[in-house]
Structure 1
Amino acid sequence: MAGNRSVVLRGVKNMQVEDLDFPKLQMPNGKKAPHGVVLKIVASNICGSDLHIYRGSFPAPEGMVMGHEMTGEVVEIGSDVEFLKEGDLVSVPFNVACGRCRNCRNGRTEVCQTCNPDADSAAYGFNLGGWDGGQAEYLFVPYADFQLLKFPDRDQAMEKIRDLALLSDILPTAFHGLMEAGAKPGSTVYLAGAGPVGRCGAAAARLLGASCIIVGDHDKDRLALMKRNGCETIDLNEDVPLQDQIEKILGEPMVDCAVDYVGTEAHGIGKDADKEDPAYAINQVIDVTRAGGATGIIGIYGPDPLAESKDEQNGIYPIEFGNAWIKSPKITAGQAPIMHYNYELMQAILWDRMPYLSDMLQTKVISLDDAPQAYADFDNGSQEKYIIDPHGMIAS
């Protein structure tokens, strides 16, 4: 049987490509999994969330295979799999979900109760249940009939694979933030962060028919990219209160809905732009959401061993809730249930309803051997969204 070359975590800012064993149809605890399949990976992206692990702010065990944004071809099928066949091209939701527990049956696949013995949440390549990631040549996927999104036409899918590769995480995650924030036709929207998931948020906001899409970031190149794609932009290096900058654009200081796509690596505004504070972005989006509006908190929050304060190391953040309470806010946080959105977003891509997605994301296809350097470049501020192509299947 073939091996499985994989991107492996070997310490802080230390990714290595290693040759591991070919995946078996079995769960992390060794139990056989006739409900699973093995995929030949076609595309596996490097996500901003992977940088949390790379930098050491999200603890993960040494030797873990990285990656949670996968698209692949079915090459081996368990005996209980009924609706997939060898050669099918599929998208893998990053949430590992059984489809059988109470939460999964209610569509809450991001909080599956059975796939992680330590918490009601499981994910590939994320130290959440012991699941190997998919920055590799091959990947085992359990509960395949339930989890996997099959593309209806393989040739059509390969023509649009750079965009369809986003369905495993960042596009549905960005869309989820907007849905939880109540975005709809005519909404005014503020998006904190113009990284890859924030850019997916801008594309999703356009798909939803938002009227004015405002994006805030400290990186001038990212802001220029957003401006080129029809967004209003706010340079958070300017020493002007965020509400004032929004009022300059809209004529009023608040928006209908706002989404935090940054998380714990947020920085301040103006004179505080060089200061990292995990609570900055969440407080900013709460502050600029109008009374009766809603906010989606999509950026990652959790215990961070690299944080400056003891509270923040333990996942306790100074949220300015007292100032927001009078506005009757709706605030939703957490991972996205990818399966709740990925089919419809797939159709939007296949029917060319998101033709601007590739330009917004600046996708770059790389080999498996290039992955360690891509991590370093991404960590140093590269604007590109890296897609690992382990088998050379994506056309240049």
Structure 2
Amino acid sequence: MQAVVLEAFREPLQVQDVDRPELTPEGIIARVDGCGVCRSDWHCWQGDWDWFGYRPDPPHILGHEPCGTVVEVGAEVETVSEGDRIAIPFNFACGKCSLCRNGHENICENHVGLGFMNEAPGAFAEEVHVPNADINAVPLSDGISTDTAAGIGCRFMTSYHAMAHQGDVGDGESVVVHGCGGIGLSAIHIANALGANPIAVDIQAEKLEKAESLGAVATVDASQGDPVKEVHDITDGGADVSVDALGIETTCRNAVDSLGKGGRHVQVGLTTSEEAGEIPLPTDEFVAKEIQFVGSLGLQPSRYPEMLSMIESGKIDPTKLVEKTIDIQQVPDELAAMSDYGTLGIPVCTDFTA
């Protein structure tokens, strides 16, 4: 089968013929129907995140935002059948540890990151293996089209968890999102659907325009003046919730400084090699203003149904974030464009045999 293979960090990616994945007793093999092309794939290609455990040994297949159709089922799988259409979270869980048993499968004690770790070759491929399929293969109803399912990978489902659960936004709260890539734009769209008033901050006009179309009540061009002051002016004293959707020191610090007293910061973006996982923060301000700082990783498979229900009801629509569809031969160039932040929304690969 064809797959996008990382042969060496920061060297050009290649589409190669590789062996089909091997079926395990508790797993399934799915034909990949769609897979988003995400900045996290770019980070992996760059060799970032060894401090986070997300640095596979080349050669390795990239891709972590798939949906698919089940083509083979392991002997121990009980709830998944051949022919089922599924969403596939990137945060593979074991289903047995205390965190999984208590509804925190996204931070499973035995967490395996699809496309980011040796144990889980990725989904820029014709087929992908899903371990522990009874928990990691999320069934899709007929009401969720393949086009829609292809847009709910990492960025959209991560933003849903960040806004609905970790940020718990709503009730007219002001939510400022720093960085309007796929995660940031998804967060704006979802925050708006949850009843909050999102404010978009970025340095690119086209991304701010897109944010407006997705429900941002105000936009701030961070390349002009002081974005923190502008957010405080817009919100009359600081936002209720802030989001760093990029993961660099500037956006993280600006997001935290955008908060008013009693505010909540949600960190979604992971850092680059420049920060190596460490960003200085105003700790005393957290104390004096009683600011909360929470992280957000992926989405628990057990909580997918509430997101899918909002999609089926039309309250949120991941297809609004899909910038374009491409084939597997175009994936390397699409990732290369991310070196210059040249991607708007979510590009999705839907043709793996080109």
**TM norm structure 1:** 0.82
**1:1-396 to 2 correspondence within 5 Å?**
4-11=1-8, 12-25=10-23, 33-58=24-49, 59-114=55-110, 121-127=111-117, 130-153=119-142, 156-158=143-145, 161-178=146-163, 179-210=165-196, 212-231=197-216, 232-242=218-228, 244-250=229-235, 252-264=236-248, 279-301=249-271, 304=272, 306-307=273-274, 312-313=275-276, 315-355=277-317, 357-359=318-320, 361-380=321-340, 381-391=342-352
How far off its partner does 1:392 sit? 7.1
Cα separation, partners in 2 of 1:340 and 1:83, compared to 1, 3 Å: closer
> Secondary structure of 2:212's match?
helix
Distance in 1 (alpha carbons) for counterparts of 2:278 and 2:262: 26
Distance in 1 (alpha carbons) for counterparts of 2:302 and 2:171: 20
Supply the AA of the counterpart residue of 1:245.
Answer: E
Q: Structure 1: where are the runs of 5+ without partners?
A: 26-32, 115-120, 265-278
Q: Structure 2: where are the runs of 5+ without partners?
A: 50-54
CA contact (8 A) 1:180 1:294 kept: no
How far off its partner does 1:246 sit? 1.7
Identity, in percent, stands at 26
Distance in 2 (alpha carbons) for counterparts of 1:113 and 1:376: 33
1:240-264 deviation per Cα after TM superposition (whole angstroms, max 9, x unaligned): 251x2123323x1301111111103
RMSD value, Cα: 2.0
How far off its partner does 1:8 sit? 0.7
CA contact (8 A) 1:136 1:390 kept: no
1:170-217 deviation per Cα after TM superposition (whole angstroms, max 9, x unaligned): 12211222232231221111111110111110111012111x210100
CA contact (8 A) 2:160 2:187 kept: yes
How far off its partner does 1:227 sit? 2.1
Distance in 2 (alpha carbons) for counterparts of 1:166 and 1:107: 24
CA contact (8 A) 1:36 1:77 kept: yes
1:61-90 deviation per Cα after TM superposition (whole angstroms, max 9, x unaligned): 221110111101000011111222111100
CA contact (8 A) 1:174 1:204 kept: yes
Matching residue of 1:268? none
How far off its partner does 1:141 sit? 0.7
Q: Which has the higher strand share?
A: 2
CA contact (8 A) 1:192 1:281 kept: yes
**TM norm structure 2:** 0.91
Question: What count of residue pairs does the alignment treat as equivalent?
Answer: 345
CA contact (8 A) 1:111 1:122 kept: no
Could you list the structure 1 runs, at least 4 aligned residues long, displaced by more than 6 angstroms after superposition: none
How far off its partner does 1:55 sit? 2.9
Distance in 2 (alpha carbons) for counterparts of 1:241 and 1:145: 46
